[in-house]
Amino acid sequence: MSIRLPKAARGNTRQPFDHPAEPPRDGSAAPPSPARPSTRRPAPRPSGGQQPFFTAAGLALRWGMSERHVRRLIENGELRAHRFGKAVRISIADVLVYEAGCIAVT
């Protein structure tokens, strides 16, 4: 019959799901991890820092209407949209075309 010692008496106080950057709980200092450069590159953005696409919610904020109304415009074919999987996005060019058609000429 063997007797199990408490974890503190066994010398290993790290839990299996501790974050690797977290220092050990026994008070000793963890060695610094070497900094790795990021391999991800940011997506190219149009000039001026604008996003290339709007979401229905973002467009609703811009136009001061409900998101549901923007989605109805898309469903009725009045506003062109692009689908990326389940995501619906509206390009800046399509927004400008729609806005130009809404301006009344006097």
Task: Tell me the residue range of the domain where 83 lies.
Answer: 53-102
Instruction: Look at residue 17 in the predicted model and tell me its pLDDT.
Output: 54
> Which has the higher per-residue pLDDT, 40 or 96?
96
Residue 38 within any structural domain of the chain: no
Mean pLDDT of 23-32: 62
Residue 81 within any structural domain of the chain: yes
Residue 27 within any structural domain of the chain: no
> 84, 15, 18, 22: which is closest to 54 by C-alpha?
84
* Threshold 0.85, pTM exceeds: no
Residue 67 within any structural domain of the chain: yes
38-55 confidence digits (pLDDT tens): 677 665 555 555 668 999
CA atoms 68, 71, 100, 50: torsion sign: positive
Name the domain count of the chain.
1
47-85 confidence digits (pLDDT tens): 555 668 999 999 999 999 999 999 999 999 999 999 989
Residue 86 CA to residue 70 CA, distance in Å, equals 16
Q: In a 3-state reduction of DSSP, which class is residue 41?
A: coil
